[in-house]
Amino acid sequence: MATLQVSTASNAPTVDHERVDELRSFLTEWLLGTGPFDDLTADVIEPEPEPEQDAETDSDTETGDTPSPYLVLYGYASFGPAHRPTVRDAARDHLDADGDLEGLSDDDRDAFIDAETEDLVYDYQHEHTEDFLRELAEYLTELFIVQTAGYEKCRFPLVGYQYTVDPDGEITHVSLA
């Protein structure tokens, strides 16, 4: 049996420099995608000032421009966001319905819910993609494009799709399937 080989990459759109910490916090709430070998990496890069830049203001001494922070998303996995807090609520409801949480201390209860959340989060992959992109748009200053392509022991891509979102929240999805 062959293993699906998947790669995901994005452009590096600039983001609102005043909301970098908020964006990093937002990204930690999401499992952005998984694959047989890896998870996706998402980070906000804040460029170091160039030597010809003023260290105090972090701006170019000739033009006054400041290097903008930008978002990177890449890895050997498919792009399919799942919102961890939403999945945690579903895990808690599932465990409550089964009566698995009765009689547990608060610490044991939280550990049990956390473990169930990590198991369930993969079942929710791709269900929250548009929610993720819509919320991400609030931090963007230019178009975000993410593409996934993969194959499984074949010559041509078995999976291929692209999502784009602009700073206004307009989402476009294109699929090869």
83's tokens: 């919102």
* pLDDT on residue 9: 95
The pTM score is 0.77
Class of domain 5-47+68-81+125-175: alpha beta
Residues 73-85: tens digit of each pLDDT: 999 988 989 888 8
Span 146-170, mean pLDDT?
87
User: For 59-103, what is each residue's pLDDT tens digit?
Assistant: 554 555 778 999 999 999 889 898 888 888 888 888 888 788 888
**Residues 6+ away with beta carbon under 8 Å from 45:** 12, 69, 70, 71, 72
d(CA 112, CA 101): 8
* Residue that wins the pLDDT comparison between 48 and 161: 161
Structure tokens at 44: 């906000």
Q: Domain segments of the chain: what residues?
A: 5-47+68-81+125-175
**Secondary structure letter of residue 3 according to DSSP:** P
Q: What percent of the chain has pLDDT over 70?
A: 86
Please tell me the predicted confidence (pLDDT) of residue 96: 81
Q: Where are the alpha helices (DSSP H) in the chain?
A: 20-28, 84-98, 106-120, 129-136
Query: Predicted confidence band at 113 (pLDDT cuts at 50, 70, 90)?
Result: confident
**List of residues 6+ apart from 9 with CB closer than 8 A:** 73, 74, 146, 147
149-171 mean pLDDT = 86
Length of the chain: 177
- At residue 116, does pLDDT exceed 60? yes
Looking at residue 41, its amino acid is T
**143: pLDDT strictly greater than 90:** yes
Rounded to 5°, the CA angle 12-175-32 comes to 50
